[in-house]
Structure 1
């Protein structure tokens, strides 16, 4: 009268397989969540770097405009070079870039901007050597 009920024949053995699938799914979701967090942190770092660069650029641009305003009223600020009525100066943006300005100032504050551009201070070196396999060992 004591009958033992076997669960193996009725799908009881599938509990272990389904648990493995659940563990695998949770592991995959955890890895994807960590990758998403890392990507978000990288985006934040890049955004902050972009913000710093933009702020530095506009500070240098404002300084260049201030110097131009002084030149228009007849004052020559320090750091401004003059040659044949053309004034040239530069305002640093960062350690590797600056704004270079050349302007001709005439009577009554009239002026003509000859150059107003962002210039890189880093010397570019061409890499002429590309190692390409020629088919021989």
Structure 2
């Protein structure tokens, strides 16, 4: 009878180890999933902010287009004088956005026919940026 008790104890121990291993695996996977969910949430918030910023700038670009259309109908060149590009003869505005970007709206106006042509409606980087490619390597200076 003593041998049966020893076998039972051995069986209970091995099943407990398997259960502990399974619980540790589940906890590990749940922590990894939680971290991934937080990163995905942060990415979706940044993406939503970026899209919202683009549509805000797009609405201002549409307002510029409407202003140009009204000036064409009235024949009022003076109202668009600040937007005139003297070198190209086009009318242009830049709407600032986040992260150093801007929406450029460039129009070619035909005052005789009272029509316009959109030459450019694009997002570009206003600020030049440089990628830091330096690698900080410890030279051993200051070591005893």
TM-score scaled by length of structure 1: 0.77
Aligned to 1:12: 9
Question: Does residue 65 of structure 1 match 2:65?
Answer: no
Distance (whole Å) between structure 2 residues aligned to residue 82 and residue 91 of structure 1? 16
- In 2 relative to 1, CA 20–128 (structure 1 residues): closer, same or farther, beyond 3 Å? closer
Superposed displacement of residue 65, structure 1: 1.1
RMSD: 2.6
- How far apart, in 2, do the equivalents of 1:96 and 1:64 lie? 17
Structure 2 residue runs without a partner (length 5+): 135-144
User: What count of residue pairs does the alignment treat as equivalent?
Assistant: 126
1:19, 1:61 → 2: CA distance?
62
Question: Matches of 1:46 and 1:54 in 2, distance apart?
Answer: 12
What is the alpha-carbon distance in structure 2 between the residues aligned to residue 17 and residue 77 of structure 1? 84
Structure 1 runs not aligned, ≥5 long: 130-137
Q: How does 1:1-137 map to 2 (within 5 A)?
A: 5-6=2-3, 7-8=5-6, 10-74=7-71, 76=79, 80-83=83-86, 85-107=89-111, 109-125=114-130
For residues 64 and 93 of structure 2, what CA distance do their matches in structure 1 show?
9
CA contact (8 A) 2:93 2:106 kept: yes
Structure number with higher helix proportion: 2
Deviation at 1:5, TM superposition (A): 3.7
CA contact (8 A) 1:80 1:89 kept: yes
Distance 1:56 1:126, change over 3 A: closer
